[in-house]
Structure 1
């Protein structure tokens, strides 16, 4: 028999620990179980806040934009690729992307995308003006934008000489390749102001005509208000008609008031004007020059023939300039009724028929000697015939002077 006591007589603890249901058995099971692992600390509710999450995302985005903006700004403001001055034309109606593509294609900027992004971020994408621009070498994108925002387009000059007919002015507009669009119908004679006009490439021909008409209307009103008293002119239209005759009779500025006085004196005396340019206008209809082989026919049946018709012609015979209109409105105070070329480019004036005949004789002598017996040249001159020599019938005084169209 086996005794579960040890040598000391005490119960054997080892055997007792394996007993069924003994406390030792329960303790043994507790000893082999692993230690409990501590739970990880829970995240702060503030970290999970959607506003903070969104704020962090926005911060990152702003940082990236700032970095990109810095490098973009450097590229936007650094010197560009253009190595020499260049003229670039941006057609009207071009959008932001079209403008950028044109500038890149012409070598003014390095990248169209950088340019469009830059002007978009600056809020000026819709403010760029189309037109023709002159860019200097190494111009930056920023300076390109500034130039186009200010509309510093190239200005071209169109000079309309005094004394051109309306048909001739329309022809001149049609010959200008920088203008666009069809010209309007030929305006009335005398309704356009000859001058030098600055304009942008791409301006329409119709716009140029309207501008000339507006300038003429304003100039006529201004001069008419300052006219001399007791003029034999009933309206601004008659002033323009007289000015057109003065314009075609002389090309010397200092002679215009004197020539105007001759016609004013004739009108006051009910004398026929006998101006060769009016006859020429009636013969060619204001559409061209008189054929050099064709002589002036003072008997030509036309309402513009001031040899056969009293008073002013029915309309101007050309478009006079400001100086000619001022001369017609404020002529020189003289008693002269005649003038003829004096061989120096100007004219000899006379108050009597006898003195005029003497001037004509001297003029013909100069012709025979090979001297300069023609009037000063003016725009679009026709052939210059020799004037008839007085005396003439009482109803038709001797000619005022030679033609100077």
Structure 2
């Protein structure tokens, strides 16, 4: 073989080795990338909180992840996120990321918006002043809120992103109530005593305050519906208390002066509904008002069991009241 043939053979071998080495390098990078993308955190791994601001670019996200120590290379994470990831945007919020968690898992959770959250329970019958107090007391949210209009919040348990504004959370509570009311009003029966969804909320707020017994709601709604239709005062104690405490517990007996007060809420001194809701009623009380139990009860009084004794006549009611007083004397109340 001549000199030219020897050189050509040598160059060919180097080209083959170069190709092999390049292939090995690409394979190594591919394996490493796949490992980083799919790896699982080791047992007992620490959780690191990473805050992603609203509107952050993928580059800024990558830098924040590297600074937190949960990805080894911001540049490579950004490259892979752009080439492997889909078109969904990363959601803002605070994320809990475990050390060693796969990059693919991190990116997927951020696009899904799987942020750390705080849970805010709003029970049925919580008045708006207490809704605002509870929301303002929840940590890791921004801003403060004033009490919303009474009856505008749907009782439920809400989730809020860490760093979210309390005003936005409150708006979600009110949007939820609007949506619930729209559906409930469509289910109204023919024998209701209220003429609008606003009146339904007012009456439901009274029902909510009068009983915590689920089985009584429709019966009490029927009783107040009967009184409204007959032109009788509702004579509901919670309407006397509301102007005094804004819906908070009174923690004492109602005074005679409060029973005589004329303030637009006291249903002992007026006919019809009070001028507004006295709390935020739950779904079951709202449903009870738009589909009340049909009966001829006009009176009720507590019976000592957590429920009420119902009566059709004043005489029957007085007998029930005497039983209630006897119960209180026996219990030393």
Query: What does residue 320 of structure 1 align with?
Result: 281
Query: What does residue 73 of structure 1 align with?
Result: 33
Query: What does residue 308 of structure 1 align with?
Result: 269
Q: Which runs of 5+ in 2 are unaligned?
A: 1-18
Q: Aligned to 2:155, which of 187, 191, 194?
A: 194
- The worse-fitting range, judged by mean Cα deviation, of 258-267 and 66-75 is 66-75
How far 1:204 sits from its partner (Å)? 2.0
Residues 386-401 of structure 1 aligned to structure 2 (within 5 Å) = none
Q: Which has the higher helix share?
A: 2
Residues 202-213 of structure 1 aligned to structure 2 (within 5 Å) = 202-213=163-174
- For 1:168 and 1:327, how far apart are their aligned partners in 2? 24
Q: Aligned to 1:164, which of 122, 126, 131?
A: 126
- For 2:48 and 2:261, how far apart are their aligned partners in 1? 54
Distance 1:116 1:221, change over 3 A: closer
> CA RMSD for the aligned pairs?
3.0
Residues 102-117 of structure 1 aligned to structure 2 (within 5 Å) = 102-117=64-79
Residues 34-49 of structure 1 aligned to structure 2 (within 5 Å) = none
Distance 1:100 1:81, change over 3 A: farther
Query: What does residue 226 of structure 1 align with?
Result: 187
Using the size of structure 2 for normalisation, the TM-score is 0.81
- The worse-fitting range, judged by mean Cα deviation, of 322-331 and 153-162 is 153-162
- The worse-fitting range, judged by mean Cα deviation, of 101-110 and 322-331 is 101-110
Q: Does 1:250 align with 2:211?
A: yes
Query: What does residue 152 of structure 1 align with?
Result: 114
Give per-residue Cα distances to partners, 1:270-325, cap 9 Å, x unaligned.
Answer: 111111110111223x2644363773621022111111111110111111111001
- Secondary structure of the residue aligned to 2:264 is coil
- Secondary structure of the residue aligned to 1:178 is coil
- Secondary structure of the residue aligned to 2:259 is coil
Query: What does residue 303 of structure 2 align with?
Result: 342
Distance 1:81 1:306, change over 3 A: closer
Q: Aligned to 1:214, which of 148, 156, 175?
A: 175
Query: What does residue 12 of structure 2 align with?
Result: none
Q: Which runs of 5+ in 1 are unaligned?
A: 1-58, 374-405
